[in-house]
Each structure stands twice: as structure tokens, then as C-alpha cells.
């Protein structure tokens, strides 16, 4: 089934939020998230970002079509198959860790 993922060039893949309203992005702090929330359409994803972000330039977000088995979430593997960068769920500040790591993933 095709769904939509929200991607930001700096923050990464939008992973979702918890019950306290904290939002998780793959490049900032994945906090153990092994999948990303998906949306039924680009319009639904854009509407969500419009409510979520107060940044004046919503054009920096990219809405990517992903093929998923579970309609509500896309696994890391499903995201990378759609061309999105992978993330390591257990690592805080993932880009910093990756940048300073001697191995390339």
C-alpha cells in the first residue's frame, strides 16, 4: 500500500510523537523509533505540518511516497527503499555520531 512520509533536509524523517506531544525526527533524536508515521495523502501530510510547524517556509519539507505493509507506519527498510536516509533507533544525535564515526553506513 502506498503512503506518504514527511522528510526535512535537516531534521530527517518525521517519526511521530508521544503522548506528551514530543515530536521525533530521525536526525535529531530517534529515541528508539524503528518506524515512521505515514499519511494517507500528501495533502494530509501538508495539513499536519501546517498545524505542527510555525516556521514560515513549509516548502522545505519533502513528501515521499513509500510502499508499506502496515498502513500506519513505515519501517526503516521501507523508508530506505523509498530513497530516504536510514537511521539508528538507539542513537541520540544520530548525524553527529555518524559524522564522527570511522565507518560509513
Give the distance, in angstroms, between the CA of residue 87 and the centroid of all CA atoms in the same chain.
Answer: 9
Q: Residue 72 has what pLDDT?
A: 92
How much is the average pLDDT of 25-40?
90
* Chain segment 78-96, per-residue pLDDT in tens: 999 999 999 988 765 545 4
Inter-residue contact 61 to 8 (CB < 8 Å): yes
In the chain, the percentage of residues whose pLDDT exceeds 90 is 51
List beta partners, residue 65.
4
Please give the grid coordinates belonging to residue 82. Answer: 523509498
List beta partners, residue 37.
73
Inter-residue contact 5 to 71 (CB < 8 Å): no
Split at pLDDT 50, 70, 90, the class of 105 is: very low
Mean pLDDT of the chain: 83
Split at pLDDT 50, 70, 90, the class of 66 is: very high
Inter-residue contact 48 to 8 (CB < 8 Å): no
How much is the average pLDDT of 1-30?
90
Split at pLDDT 50, 70, 90, the class of 101 is: very low
Answering whether pTM is above 0.85, one says no
Amino acid at each position: 500500500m502506498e503512503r506518504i512520509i514527511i522528510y526535512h533536509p535537516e531534521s530527517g524523517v518525521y517519526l511521530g510523537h508521544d503522548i506528551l506531544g514530543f515530536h521525533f525526527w530521525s536526525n535529531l533524536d530517534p529515541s528508539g523509533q524503528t518506524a515512521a508515521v505515514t499519511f494517507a495523502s500528501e495533502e494530509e501530510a501538508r495539513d499536519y505540518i501546517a498545524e505542527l510547524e510555525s516556521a514560515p517556509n513549509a516548502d522545505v519539507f519533502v513528501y515521499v511516497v513509500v510502499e508499506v505493509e502496515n498502513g500506519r507506519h513505515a519501517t526503516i527498510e521501507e523508508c530506505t527503499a523509498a530513497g530516504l536516509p536510514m537511521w539508528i533507533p538507539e542513537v541520540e544525535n544520530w548525524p553527529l555520531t555518524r559524522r564522527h564515526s570511522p565507518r560509513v553506513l
